[in-house]
């Protein structure tokens, strides 16, 4: 019996993002960055966001009398970042929101992927929720980061 849907939900998100053609130029990372030396301009983290107190926030309760099943609500912290060496902040800001739109589209049910919101059956439903934009100029150029959460409900 599963104690939580978190491992399956994170694995399903990675399974959606890594092979997505729209994210071919994006490095998708499971959890926190292993180092800060990446060649890629764009990165998408699943299960990590800078400054977040936790990778996933989980709440559970009994689904009904008899305590045979539990409902789990969770919010998985994610983060998109992009860099541009010339200092073009408008481009960086537009790019992180462009990548967020790709993530949101991948989570929506379509004719080709009707199980997308269920993360392939790992959860009852999921959705993209709250976000927070970070912008920065440095000697290396412009940087924009967008923290967001993927919330879900699961029956365990």
What the chain holds in terms of domains, given with CATH numbers, is: 6-155 (3.30.70)
Q: With bands split at pLDDT 50, 70 and 90, how would you rate the model's confidence at 14?
A: very high
pLDDT of residue 37: 67
pLDDT of residue 19: 95
Stretch among 16-25, 47-56, 78-87 having the lowest mean pLDDT: 47-56
SS3 assignment for 21-43: HHHCCEEEEECCCCCCCCCCCEE
pLDDT of residue 135: 95
Q: With bands split at pLDDT 50, 70 and 90, how would you rate the model's confidence at 98?
A: very high
Distance (Å, whole) CA 110 – CA 117: 10
What average pLDDT does range 36-65 have in this prediction?
A: 84
Distance (Å, whole) CA 99 – CA 105: 10
Q: Are the C-beta atoms of 60 and 70 separated by less than 8 Å?
A: yes
User: Is the pLDDT at 38 greater than 70, yes or no?
Assistant: no
Which of 115, 133, 124 has its CA nearest to residue 151?
124
Which position has the higher pLDDT, 61 or 42? 42
Exposed/middle/buried for residue 4 (C-beta within 10 Å: 0-12, 13-18, 19+):
middle
Give backbone dihedrals phi and psi of 122, rounded to 5 degrees, phi first: -70, -30
The DSSP secondary-structure symbol of 73 reads E
What stretch of H or E contains 148?
strand 141-155
What is the pTM for the complete model shown? 0.90
Distance (Å, whole) CA 148 – CA 130: 5
């Amino acid at each position: 019996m599963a104690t939580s849907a978190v491992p399956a939900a994170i694995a399903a998100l990675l399974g959606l993002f890594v092979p997505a053609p729209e994210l071919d130029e994006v490095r998708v990372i499971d959890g926190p960055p292993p180092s800060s030396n990446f060649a890629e301009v764009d990165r998408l983290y699943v299960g990590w966001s800078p400054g977040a107190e936790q990778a996933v926030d989980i709440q559970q309760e009994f689904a009904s009398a008899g305590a045979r099943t539990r409902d789990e609500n969770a919010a998985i912290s994610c983060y998109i970042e992009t860099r541009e060496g010339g200092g073009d902040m408008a481009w960086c800001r537009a790019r992180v929101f462009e990548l967020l739109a790709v993530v949101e589209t991948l989570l929506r049910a379509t004719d080709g992927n009707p199980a997308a919101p269920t993360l392939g059956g790992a959860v009852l439903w999921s959705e993209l929720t709250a976000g927070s934009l970070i912008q920065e100029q440095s000697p290396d150029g412009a940087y924009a980061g967008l923290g967001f959460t993927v919330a879900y409900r699961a029956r365990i």
